[in-house]
Amino acid sequence: MSDLNEKVTQEYDASKIQVLEGLEAVRMRPGMYIGSTSSSGLHHLVYEIVDNAIDEALAGYCDHIEVVIEEGDVIKVTDNGRGIPVDIQEQTGKPALEVVYTVLHAGGKFGAGGYKVSGGLHGVGASVVNALSDWLEVDVHKNGNIYHMEFSRGEKTKDMEIVGTTDRTGTVVRFHPDPEMFDETVYDYETLHVRMREQAFLNAGLRISTKDEREGKEAFDEMYYEGGIREFVTFINKNKTPVHEGVVYMQGDREDATAEVAIQWNDGYNENMVSFANNIHTPEGGMHETGFKTALTRVLNAYGHKAKLLKDDDSLSGEDVREGITAVISVKLTNPQFEGQTKAKLGNSEMRTLVDSVVSAKLDQFLEENPAVGKAIIDKAMTASRAREAARKARESVRRKTGLESGQMPEKLQDCNERDPSLCELYVVEGDSAAGSAIQGRDSRFQAILAMWGKMLNVEKARADKIYGNDKLYPMIVALGAGIGQEFNIDKLRYHKIIIMADADVDGSHIRTLLLTFFFRYMRPLIENGYVYSAVPPLYKLSRGKTQRVAYSDDERDAISSELRGDNPNAKVDISRFKGLGEMDPEELWETTMNPETRTLRRITLDDAVKADEVFTILMGEEVEPRKQWIELNAKYVVNLDF
Ligand code: 1YM
């Protein structure tokens, strides 16, 4: 495995495991350890186990990992590493394997002299997964033997014993998430598949295979990328048109860290930068991104002047040189410092210096050797620069005409009385009659309504100047009050909950997708800060006699129906399906969808910016064929088009 980190010289030694805390803490406050007990936390369990296997790969001992969803949502993770140590640990008198799975924070990687590189942030590991599983078993192939152990809810249920012989080494973990701990225990294969693909891109030479056995699938999806993040960039750009051939790849080390950057420009207008530290996505950026941006702007300006592609007084801004770029930045370091609201920002300043120097040295060299690519990039940035100047002028004229700075609010907005943004909610409502009901039903003290209708501008195909001038988006930009794009200022935002309320039909998902595309492209901090929500209207109305209830899912419908029937199996319960928001009267809408006491909101996350970008591009981009394919493939899900 040429591209993986070199072997760590220091070997495992049982005394290096540090014992920190008991596992009850995990079951008391699961959210503290895995983020949440919703679907995201459920999937997090798999990542924790896989992380240990990836650490083993980073240490140079493992080159294949399998992840399988078995019947009944049992997860099985297999690697071909050394196998978790099974010898008796002095401090506890127990096998190291048992300690790793029953003691919080136990693991070689927490002791000094452990792995060169490990996840760090999410490295709470195996014992957390064990604590949150109603059943977990481990088989370690090592020393020619298969060592087997079982657990339940963090407690050992079977002592370690040898159950057979083997001619390989590695670890196999199978677990079932504890239904007492999670809102739901059904795994989404696509979510795991996308995450594993990302990990395969980030670890060149590592093979990851995934399979969903729940519907009798026989074959594995295989992911193996010799080119690592170069292939990641090609993958992200697959439905885009590059402006130059090939991906520019840059790599460099210092004694305790390595940095890799891969970039390619396409003919679009968006900047798509994805960064990682120790394989952990850092959507809030940080020092590695800063180092990249500074160096990119400096190197391209210097090259442009040197190659006489730029006039003496021409100067390209950071935004200009990043227009249409797809960039993947990946750093691996010993002591990552994660900062920011969601701990998704890298704080190590030495990574700024490292990435800056890698890009400075390697990009300049690349441009010297590939002048045609250099010219394509500089031309693209020059066009961006001119367009940005035109956009600035357009914006100023719109501002003057419409009094954007006068604080005047658009007609389509029914504002609330409250002025503290942290208490204010903006419902963006699709359709006239739904907006009418929402205006009557709302609590006008803190709930504002913005009506939207008609076909919205497809923001993927438009540049910033058109967006300011657009009659659908303009009222929203003004209502939110924080500007767009580079000028977006979250401190000026007028509402901290922006709730998209649209029907659960194709038109509804269309408007939702368009709005999310717009937020994603031009107001991304809104999503990053967790300010964007999707309202969840009920699907069914049930009534028996005078009792009326609503249900938000098929399961809930069935549960309420049998509850209403009580002991009387012949009782008639009327069930009708809500056709749309517009059909509800104001009280119904308030009670089911808007009242903070009773409503359900789904927060829109940017968990997977790469995936979101892919879907947006497919649905909105120039290429018709991938869009057709996507819609055909996902036709049955289109109703739930959410990110
Ligand atoms: C399917 C999950 O956990 N693999 C795995 C874990 C470990 C090792 C190898 C390992 C580490 C070391 C030495 C070392 C772990 N070991 C520990 C501890 N796959 C999976 N593969 N030998 C083997 O760190 O030096 C924790 S995880 F603490 F025991 F060393």
State the pLDDT at residue 57: 93
Query: Per-residue pLDDT tens for 403-437?
Result: 555 567 888 899 999 999 999 999 999 888 889 99
Q: Which residue has the higher pLDDT, 391 or 447?
A: 447
149 close to 97: Cβ distance less than 8 angstroms: yes
pTM metric for this prediction:
0.71
Q: Which residue has the higher pLDDT, 215 or 210?
A: 210
**Residue 324 Cα, ligand 1 centroid: separation in angstroms?**
42
Residue 293 tokens read as 């941006």
Strand bridging mode 325-333 / 257-265: antiparallel
Q: Which residue has the higher pLDDT, 469 or 479?
A: 479
Where does the pLDDT of residue 642 fall: very low under 50, low under 70, confident under 90, or very high at 90 and above? very low
Active centre residues (catalytic)? 430, 503, 505, 507
Supply the mean pLDDT for the chain: 86
* Closest to 100 measured CA to CA, from 111, 515, 4, 205: 111
Ligand 1, from 17, 45, 49, 52: best to mutate by most atoms within 8 Å of Cβ?
52
Query: Per-residue pLDDT tens for 52-89?
Result: 999 999 899 999 999 999 999 999 999 999 999 999 98
Separation between Cα atoms, residue 536 and residue 82, nearest integer Å: 48
Residue 309 tokens read as 């592609």
Residue 437 tokens read as 């009901």
Where does the pLDDT of residue 506 fall: very low under 50, low under 70, confident under 90, or very high at 90 and above? low
**Residue 22 Cα, ligand 1 centroid: separation in angstroms?**
20
State the pLDDT at residue 111: 34
Query: Per-residue pLDDT tens for 343-386?
Result: 789 999 999 999 999 999 999 999 999 999 999 999 999 999 99
* Closest to 448 measured CA to CA, from 468, 475, 428, 474: 428
- Enumerate the β-bridge partners of residue 428: 450, 500
Separation between Cα atoms, residue 94 and residue 109, nearest integer Å: 19
Given a cut of 50, whether residue 104 has pLDDT beyond it is yes
Residue 542 tokens read as 């049930």
52 close to 182: Cβ distance less than 8 angstroms: no
State the pLDDT at residue 609: 47
Amino acid at 533: Y
Query: Per-residue pLDDT tens for 114-134?
Result: 334 444 333 348 999 999 999
* Closest to 599 measured CA to CA, from 610, 615, 588, 612: 588
306 close to 365: Cβ distance less than 8 angstroms: no
The pocket around ligand 1, CB under 6 angstroms, is made up of 12, 17, 49, 52-53, 56, 77, 79, 81-82, 84-85, 96, 100, 107-108, 114, 171, 173
Separation between Cα atoms, residue 327 and residue 344, nearest integer Å: 18
- Enumerate the β-bridge partners of residue 534: 500, 602
Query: Per-residue pLDDT tens for 246-270?
Result: 999 999 999 899 999 999 999 988 8
Q: Which residue has the higher pLDDT, 630 or 275?
A: 275
Report the percentage of the chain scoring pLDDT > 90. 59
Where does the pLDDT of residue 39 fall: very low under 50, low under 70, confident under 90, or very high at 90 and above? very high
Does residue 599 sit in helix, strand or coil? coil
